[in-house]
Structure 1
Amino acid sequence: MNQTVKLVTLWGAFEEQHPNGNIEDFCRHYLASQRQKKVKGPMVGGVIPPVADGVLLKTIGRIHKLNSNYANLSLKGTGLNQLEELGLLLTIRQEKNPKKTELIYANLFEVSSGTDMLTRLKTRGLIKEHNDKEDKRSKRIELTAKGEKTVEAAKARIIKNAAMMTHDLTEDDKQLCIQLLKNIEIKFSALWQKHKGKEFDEIYEEMMEEDKK
């Protein structure tokens, strides 16, 4: 096959699967697909799902659990006990003084569990809350000086943990993973609250019908 035709064919297939991808993304995708990495060992952790969807999600889930274990270990001595606490504090710092409910939902917590974690952070003097001037029913959250200092110490430790966890990946590999997975995160982050209270079969039919449009 003519190399130009081959390139156009490959680009067409990539663009169909990743409509928002650019040339750099395509190049990373192609190089990664051609690279044969040495397998360092078998996948572990029980039954391997019989379909690729399941293998992918199980792999992501196990990596998430492993990362949480190492991340929580790295946070010892920083004033934080778990990765989720840092996520809340970083969101507060980014948003300045977000509403409590918006902060909780942004970090994918249920209201009860998110409120409990914020209460613990407040008790430790890392955050403070005050009434929303425009909505008296709402509370807004902001970091204390102690919280700011804690965020900096914890962030440095988490960056080291992230470097350790992804040490075997090249920068191109990392960017490719982000490109391939980010739309799943974006899509379901916007939908999970709307799906609360619905049966799974209803959600499934809704999502699969959407893909046919």
Structure 2
Amino acid sequence: MNKTVELVNEWAAFEMNHPDGNIEEFCRYYLARNRKQEVKGPLVGGAVPPLVDGLLLKIIGRISKLNMSYANLALKGTGLNQIEEFGMLVTISLEKNPRKTDVIYANLFELSSGTDMLNRMKNRGLITEYDDPDDKRAKRIELTPEGVQVVELCYERIGMNARMIANDLSPDDKELCIQLLKGIEMKFSALWPQHKGKPFETVYESVMSSALTA
């Protein structure tokens, strides 16, 4: 096949699956897909799922658990007990004085467990809580001076952990992973509030039927 035609066909296939992709992302994707990488040791612990979808999600899940374990180790002595607390504080820091419920849902927590976590950090003097001036039923929260210091310290520690975990990936590979996975995160982060409490069969039918009509 003519090389120009082959390249055009490759671009067409990429564009179909990644309509928002640009030329730089296509080049990164094409080179990574055709590059052979040596796999050292067993691919995943335990049983290997027979479905490629399951294998992909198992790998992501194990990386997530490992990241949490190492991140929690990195947080020792900082004033935070777990990586989820850091996520909460960063959300508050970026939003300045967000509503309590918005912080909880932005971090994918149930209301009860998210409220408990925020209350524990309030008791440790990291955040303060007050009535929303526009809605007396709601609460707003913000960082205390101590909370600001803790966030600054933890940013450094969590950054070190992230660099350590992803150290074996090249910059292009990291960008490719983000490029391929960000759509899934964005899609289901938006859908999760609608799906909570519904039977899985209903959720599955809704998601899959939407995919077929897209």
1:166 counterpart = 2:166: yes
Q: What's 2:92 paired with?
A: 92
Distance in 1 between the 2:95 and 2:73 partners? Answer: 27
Q: What's 1:14 paired with?
A: 14
Distance in 1 between the 2:22 and 2:95 partners? Answer: 30
Q: What's 2:133 paired with?
A: 133
Q: What's 1:79 paired with?
A: 79
Q: What's 1:64 paired with?
A: 64
1:128 alignment partner AA:
T
* Percentage of pairs with the same residue: 63
Q: Is the 8 A contact 2:44 2:59 kept in 1?
A: no
- How far off is 1:19 after superposition? 1.1
Where structure 1 has 5 or more consecutive residues not aligned to the other structure, the ranges are: none
Q: Which moved more, 1:42-51 or 1:144-153?
A: 42-51
- How far off is 1:44 after superposition? 3.1
Distance in 1 between the 2:51 and 2:157 partners? Answer: 36
Distance in 1 between the 2:35 and 2:159 partners? Answer: 27
Distance in 1 between the 2:63 and 2:126 partners? Answer: 29
- How far off is 1:147 after superposition? 0.2
Distance in 2 between the 1:46 and 1:184 partners? Answer: 25
Q: Which moved more, 1:142-151 or 1:14-23?
A: 14-23
Q: Aligned residue pairs: how many? A: 213
1:121 counterpart = 2:121: yes
Distance in 2 between the 1:198 and 1:109 partners? Answer: 16
1:201 alignment partner AA:
E
Post-superposition CA distance 1:149-181 (Å, at most 9, x none): 000001100000000000000000000000100
Q: With structure 1 as the length reference, what TM-score do the two structures score?
A: 0.99
Distance in 1 between the 2:108 and 2:83 partners? Answer: 13
Distance in 2 between the 1:27 and 1:77 partners? Answer: 43
1:37 counterpart = 2:37: yes
Q: 3-state DSSP class of the match of 1:42?
A: coil
Q: 3-state DSSP class of the match of 2:140?
A: strand
Q: 3-state DSSP class of the match of 1:81?
A: coil
2:41 alignment partner AA:
G
1:155 alignment partner AA:
Y
Q: 3-state DSSP class of the match of 1:137?
A: strand
Root-mean-square deviation (CA, aligned residues, Å) is 0.7
Q: What's 2:52 paired with?
A: 52
Distance in 2 between the 1:43 and 1:172 partners? Answer: 22
Q: Is the 8 A contact 2:99 2:141 kept in 1?
A: yes
Q: Which moved more, 1:42-51 or 1:79-88?
A: 42-51
Distance in 2 between the 1:36 and 1:166 partners? Answer: 19
1:183 alignment partner AA:
G
Where does 1:172-211 land on structure 2 (aligned, <5 Å)?
172-211=172-211
- How far off is 1:2 after superposition? 1.1
1:2 counterpart = 2:2: yes
Post-superposition CA distance 1:133-158 (Å, at most 9, x none): 10010000100000000000011000
Q: 3-state DSSP class of the match of 2:129?
A: strand
Q: With structure 2 as the length reference, what TM-score do the two structures score?
A: 0.98
Q: 3-state DSSP class of the match of 2:137?
A: coil
- How far off is 1:62 after superposition? 0.3
Moved over 2 A (4+): none
